[in-house]
Amino acid sequence: MSKPSLRDLEHHDAFVERHIGPNDAEIAQMLRAVGHDSLDAMTDAIVPGSIKATGALDLPGGMTEVEALAKIRAIAARNDVFRSFIGQGYYGTHTPNVILRNVLENPAWYTAYTPYQAEISQGRMEALINFQQMCADLTGMDIANASLLDEATAAAEAMTLARRSAKSKSNLFFVADDVHPQTLEVVRTRAGGLGIDLQVGPAADAATVDSFGVLLQYPNTYGRIGDHAAVADAVHARGALVAVATDLLALTLLKAPGEWGADIVVGNSQRFGVPFGFGGPHAAFMACRDAFKRSMPGRLIGVSIDAEGKPAYRLTLQTREQHIRREKATSNICTAQVLLAVMAAMYAVYHGPEGLVRIARRTHRQAAILAAALRQAGVSVGEQFFDTLHVTGVDAEQVHLYASHQRINLRKIDATSVGISLDETTTRADLAALAKIFGADLTDSAIEALDDATADALPASLLRASEFLTHPVFNTHHSEHELLRYLRALADKDLAMDRTMIPLGSCTMKLNATAEMIPVTWPEFANIHPLAPASQTRGYQELVDSLEAMLVEITGYDAISFQPNSGAQGEYAGLLAIRAWHASRGEGHRDICLIPESAHGTNPASAQLVGMKVVVTKCDANGNVDLDDLRTQAEKHSANLAALMITYPSTHGVFEEDIVAICETVHAHGGQVYTDGANMNALVGVAKPGKWGSDVSHLNLHKTFCIPHGGGGPGVGPCAVKSHLAPFLPDGHRDADGTVGQVSAAAHGSASILPISWMYIALMGKAGLRKATQVALLNANYISKRLAPHYRTLYTGRNGLVAHECILDLRPLEKATGVSAEDVAKRLIDFGFHAPTLSFPVAGTLMVEPTESESLHELDRFIDAMIQIRDEIRAIEEGKLDRDDNPLRHAPHTANAVAASEWTHAYPRELAVFPLASLRQQKYWPPVARVDNVHGDKNVFCACIPVDAYKDEAVEA
Ligand SMILES: *Cc1c(COP(=O)(O)O)cnc(C)c1O
């Protein structure tokens, strides 16, 4: 026997083979089914020659996991982790280890999808409703949503909610000058896009300025706790609304904003167990009065009932959202911050109200003691604070220099003042080190003495008297065993990618490899404050530069900003760049945005946010952009054409032949081409939008580049542009000239999850990335071909092939049998599958995107389920199953239903829950039956379910 070469043996460590589901033999078998000899031949048959990349990506070859981790370890080591007391919206926190390992590092939580399929998402929706209850309780408001992107964008959303809801017809929004600087910047950008006048001034002026709304901060950015009740009354008297940015931990001790007149309350839940991460991701929140709930932005979890009449969670009031309302939506938010909201909610569940108060009180005592020590040393410190000291009258430069010698960061305010924010992680040693910077000697006994001698610095009139977190969920799971089991019980209710493929069209639910996730929690990435000096963040700079260079090579663009923290935010940033570019050329009047009718809802919603007018263009019978209609519209609006937003390959799952001509048409009329890059998974290594004529794209790193979906976030939506648009990227990008401002709070957005995408690209290498794309195309075509005898694929491109996803048309079957696409989606749950995308972009269809990571075995399992379902539909057609009482109509089936003594259906129980024999080996039991959507929207209830809804009744023997 000849011995294998070392190189052959080494090759088997290649990550590519772990990431890509089918092995080479299976790929060959599948290619035969699809009718091609090789991946390259198939790719040539699918991708139009006019856009095909010539040559390989100029990237290194793939690495092993060991090699890539060593390389990113070296990058991480260039970050220098100081103790940060900078505050300004970001505070140290201890992530409880039980939450770190069992939520943040647990694929059952981080690989879940957005809870559109309510029946398989009850666990994460319960976690989110805990988040909503927590935010509503602490802020003293009626209702809260299930997370927003960051505090600054939440404040911008508060401004637009106020504009929609206020009686006042003023066009002015007033922002107090003591909000966090990044909040003001993001609000300013948003106001500019919408043509809202902004006025900034002392909070007290809010009482007299004519506005539709005001933004105050409580406690303010310098830590001071102001009493705004009189201001709020005055604002209300004018028919305007009061938005308040606040801090959840402070609110455990302070009178809730809802108790002194706030209408909308926003903030960040970061300090509830989520590390700095150089700026994100963290879950922001918005709470408001009940009257505004139908106008609120973002996702909202509500309680409805299921088909058995039992309480069940679902996303409620979706008609506000971009995927339904499009340019009339309340915001463009799609991906939010679910995973981080789950962490923050569990932090509150674990600590409970008393634990949170203890943490808050300890932090406050430390702050009061430090303030006293500084005053004794002759330093002036502001009064009435919770955790943040505003130190004035010092030589700030000297102070920061001393601090840096002790590896401590303080907030830079100006030449004579600094800020010090304490937090949950602050120790007595920290207090001593902080005091020493100002020349004070704070020994342990001095701390004791000052503790005795120093009163609290909380204003007596603003102390909290009301209860919060009284629901049993916040008062039960305080031991680690209890929380561990609660987390497990919730995760077990849900289907995530650790149990099944999630074949969601357009959402690219591919492998989120463990090795990609590992660096995220390294202290060198996790524990860096977003405002830490550049000298401490060289690792992050290298990471950002390196990832930018790799993505520039992959996309064909010239510059990329990582600031947008979702795809929709990337769209917003890209459209701002287009607008600013037009303005720079004296064409600021261009405001028409052409959007094909098949576009994702975020496209029109984002266009609206930058003040563009949406003109919808038609699609032809093949699902392609109707070139004639596009030409007509472009011509008609030639003088005012700003942009076309197009998705490529199209949301209909095809590579349109005309894309180059489309770009030329738009350019000929003075417009810019925005390519929605959510479908990059069909393009990487095969074609580059920046090279075929597109000017700007956002990428969804949480789709193509392996950042997990987290149950609906976090996301990263970098904005990639050609060089002429680079000066108009958001502030913080090296090429930007500052004209568009900031789109989110931190310079690099959710920087701490960039290592995931960096790892993916490094692990795959140039050949692996291209192969991944090709197998993504193959897997989709394999499903389409194998299902062809059973379900029609609605649209195909060249040579009868689809791109990386295919749309299965259920409408003819519905016509014949009454079985809807939704019935099929719910029936898949009985087979243990997450449904494909339902009724987008075409009503009555299912869009399937398997991705390259699904093995042949898993594809076949899915195909078998779909064929069995087709057989059931056929049985209805043939009269063997009842048209109304059949397993599709009543899916999904719960254990409760089939275990009932009485079974009333016209089909057997066995068919209900074990339609395939293999399910007896492994069965997912949905915790609820089909959830009633109409009931949920009519009876909006968005808080924790009262316990008496679940009374235990013993069964009589
Ligand atoms: C996912 C998606 C978006 C929006 O991205 P988010 O990160 O959810 O904001 C936009 N367009 C398309 C085609 C998408 O699939």
Residue whose C-alpha is closest to residue 866's, from 813, 815, 816, 910: 813
Q: What is the pLDDT of residues 14-51, one digit of tens each?
A: 899 999 999 999 999 999 999 999 999 999 999 999 99
Cα(712) to ligand 1 centroid in Å equals 11
CA–CA dist 196, 160 (Å, integer): 9
Q: Is the predicted pLDDT of residue 68 greater than 90, yes or no?
A: yes
Q: How far is CA 671 from CA 568, 654, 693, 933, in A?
A: 21, 24, 12, 41
- Cα of 512 to ligand 1 centre, how many Å? 18
Determine the distance separating the centroid of ligand 1 and the alpha carbon of 678, expressed in angstroms.
6
Encode pLDDT of 338-391 as tens digits. 999 999 999 999 999 999 999 999 999 999 999 999 999 999 999 999 999 999
pLDDT of residue 624: 85
Note whether residue 472 is domain-resident. no
Residues 777 and 717 in one domain: no
CB distance 677 to ligand 1 below 6 Å: no
Pair 410, 86: CB distance under 8 Å:
yes
Apex 589 CA angle, 584 and 592, nearest 5? 115
Number of structural domains the chain divides into? 4
CA 108 centroid distance within chain? 17
Give the percent of the chain with pLDDT over 70. 100
The predicted pLDDT at position 653 comes to 86
Average pLDDT over residues 154-173: 98
List, as one string, the DSSP characters of 697-753: EEE-TTTTT----TTT------EEE-GGGGGGSPTTSTT--SSS--SSSSTTSSGGG
Q: Is the CB of 602 under 6 A from ligand 1?
A: yes
Angle at CA of residue 511, ends 505 and 512, nearest 5°: 115
Q: Which atom of ligand 1 is nearest to the CA of 508?
A: 15
Distance CA 517, CA 757 (A): 9
Q: Is 43 within a domain?
A: no
- Tell me: do 276 and 400 sit in the same domain: no
Q: Taking residues 477-485, what's their average pLDDT?
A: 98
Do residues 451 and 588 both lie within one domain?
Answer: no
Supply the pLDDT for residue 561: 98
Q: How far is CA 306 from CA 118, 319, 440, 824, 926, in A?
A: 10, 20, 63, 17, 11
| Pairing verdict, β 284-288 and 264-268 | antiparallel
Q: Which residues pair with 414 in a beta bridge?
A: 417
- Do the beta carbons of residue 649 and residue 849 sit within 8 Å? no
pLDDT digit string, tens, across residues 269-286: 999 999 999 999 999 999
Residue 83, φ and ψ in degrees, nearest 5: -75, 125
Q: Give the model's pLDDT for residue 956.
A: 81
Give φ, ψ of 873 to 5 degrees: -65, -40
Residue bearing the CA closest to ligand 1, atom 7: 567
How remote is the CA of residue 548 from the centroid of ligand 1, in Å? 20
CB 247 within 8 A of CB 501: no
Atom of ligand 1 nearest to the CA of 568: 9
Backbone angles phi, psi at 526, to 5 degrees: -75, -35
Q: Is residue 87 one of the residues assigned to a domain?
A: no
516 with 388: CB under 8 angstroms? no
pLDDT at residue number 646 = 97
Is it the case that residue 948 has pLDDT exceeding 80? no
Q: Is position 590 within any domain? A: yes
The confidence score (pLDDT) of residue 851 equals: 98
What is residue 458's three-state secondary structure?
A: coil
Ligand 1 lined by 334 (C-beta under 6 Å): yes
Q: Which of 736, 763, 790 is the last residue of a domain?
A: 763
Q: For 761-809, how does the pLDDT look when each residue is reduced to its tens digit (9 = 90+)?
A: 999 999 999 999 999 999 999 999 999 999 999 999 889 999 999 999 9
- The residue whose CA has the least distance to atom 6 of ligand 1 is 567
**What is the distance between the alpha carbons of residues 593 and 824, in angstroms, rounded to a whole number?**
36
Per the structure, the complete domain to which residue 628 belongs is given by: 520-763
Closest protein CA for atom 15 of ligand 1: 506
Q: Is 908 helix (H, G, I), strand (E, B) or coil?
A: coil
Mean pLDDT of 685-699: 98
571 Cα–ligand 1 center, Å = 9
Residue 573 near ligand 1, beta carbon < 6 Å: no
Nearest CA to ligand 1 atom 4: 567
Band of pLDDT at residue 579, cut at 50, 70 and 90: very high
Q: Is the CA virtual torsion 584, 587, 591, 595 positive or negative?
A: negative
Q: Is 678 in the pocket of ligand 1 (CB under 6 A)?
A: yes
Determine contact, residues 710/753, Cβ cutoff 8 Å. no
Indicate whether 289 pLDDT > 90: yes
Residues in contact with 429: Cβ distance below 8 Å, sequence separation at least 6, in sequence order: none
pLDDT one-digit tens code per residue, 388-446: 999 999 999 999 999 999 999 999 999 999 999 999 999 999 999 999 999 999 999 99
Q: What is the mean pLDDT of residues 652-670?
A: 94
Shared domain for 810 and 685, answered yes or no, is: no
For residue 677, the tally of other CB atoms under 10 A from its CB is 30
Verify that 132 and 164 share a domain, yes or no.
yes
Residues 340 and 359 sit within 8 Å (Cβ to Cβ):
no
Which residue type is seen at 727?
P
Instruction: Determine the straight-line distance between the first and last CA of the chain, rounded to whole angstroms.
Output: 70
Residue where a domain terminates, one of 763, 797, 830:
763
Q: How far is residue 219's CA from residue 251's CA, in Å, rounded to a whole number?
A: 9
How far is residue 104's CA from residue 810's CA, in Å, rounded to a whole number? 38
What is the distance between the alpha carbons of residues 943 and 126, in angstroms, rounded to a whole number? 10
786 within domain boundaries: yes
| Residue 166 scores a pLDDT above 90 | yes
Model confidence at 93, pLDDT cuts 50, 70, 90, reads very high
Has residue 31 been placed in a domain?
no
Residues 653 and 732 in one domain: yes
- Residues listed for the chain: 957
CATH number at residue 591: 3.40.640.10
Q: Which of 331, 333, 335 to mutate to test the pocket of ligand 1 (most atoms within 8 A of CB)?
A: 335
Q: Please tell me the residue having the least CA distance from ligand 1 atom 2.
A: 678
Report the CATH number that the domain containing residue 456 is assigned in CATH: 3.90.1150.10
> Which pair of structure tokens corresponds to residue 806?
């295919």
Computed over every residue of the chain, the mean pLDDT equals: 96
Q: Which of 321, 600, 704, 709 to mutate to test the pocket of ligand 1 (most atoms within 8 A of CB)?
A: 600
User: Average pLDDT for residues 688-710, to the nearest whole number?
Assistant: 98
700 CB under 6 A from ligand 1?
A: yes
Q: According to DSSP H, which parts of 200-291 are helical?
A: 229-237, 248-251
730 has pLDDT over 70: yes
For the Cβ of 832 lying below 6 angstroms from any atom of ligand 1, the answer is no
Query: At which residue do the structure tokens 């923290």 appear?
Result: 565
The answer, yes or no, to whether residue 11 has pLDDT greater than 80, is no
What is the Cα–Cα distance from 48 to 774, expressed in whole angstroms? 14
In short, whether 652's Cβ falls inside 6 Å of ligand 1 is: no
* Residue 327 maps to a domain: no
Domain limit, last residue, from 260, 295, 330: 295
Residue 671's Cβ-count burial label (10 Å; 0-12, 13-18, 19+) is: buried
The answer to the question of residue 359 being in a domain is yes
For the segment 716-740, the average pLDDT, to the nearest whole number, is: 96
The torsion defined by the Cα of 900, 905, 907 and 908, in degrees rounded to 10, comes to 10
| pLDDT score recorded for residue 8 | 80
Compute the distance from residue 602 Cα to the ligand 1 centre, in Å: 7
| Tokens read off for 501 | 């493929």
Could you give the CA distance from residue 711 to residue 340 in angstroms, rounded to a whole number? 10
State how far the Cα of 702 lies from the Cα of 517, in Å rounded to an integer. Answer: 12
Q: What angle do CA 359, 365, 367 make, to 5 degrees?
A: 105
- Residue nearest atom 14 of ligand 1, based on CA coordinates: 678
Same domain, 654 and 797: no
Which residues make Cβ contacts (< 8 Å) with residue 860, sequence separation at least 6? none
Tokens read off for 75: 């990058």
Atom of ligand 1 nearest to the CA of 647: 13
Do residues 700 and 778 both lie within one domain? no
Task: List all residues 6 or more positions away from 396 whose beta carbon is below 8 Å from its beta carbon.
Answer: 412, 413, 414, 415, 416, 417, 418
Q: Which of 247, 250, 273 is nearest to 360 (CA)?
A: 250
- Per-residue exposure over 355-378, b if at least 16 CB sit within 10 Å of its own CB, e if not: bbbebbeebbbbbbbbbbbbeeee
Phi and psi dihedrals of 383, rounded to 5?
-100, 165
CA distance 661 to 337: 38
Please check whether residues 743 and 794 belong to one and the same domain. no
Write down the H helix ranges in 269-395.
322-325, 338-376
Residues 450 and 544 in one domain: no
**Residue 757 sits in the same domain as residue 780:** no
Interatomic CA distance for residues 359 and 661, integer angstroms: 61
Q: What is the DSSP string of 626-664?
A: -HHHHHHHHHHTGGGEEEEEEESS-TTS---TTHHHHHH
Q: Which atom of ligand 1 is nearest to the CA of 506?
A: 15
Distance 511 CA to ligand 1 centre (A): 18
Residues 719 and 792 in one domain: no
> Dihedral of the CA atoms 706, 337, 607, 731 (nearest 10)?
-80
Q: 495 in ligand 1 pocket by Cβ < 6 Å? A: no
Tokens 């920061």 correspond to: 400
Work out the pLDDT band at 1, boundaries 50, 70, 90: low
Q: Alpha carbon 186 to chain centroid distance?
A: 18
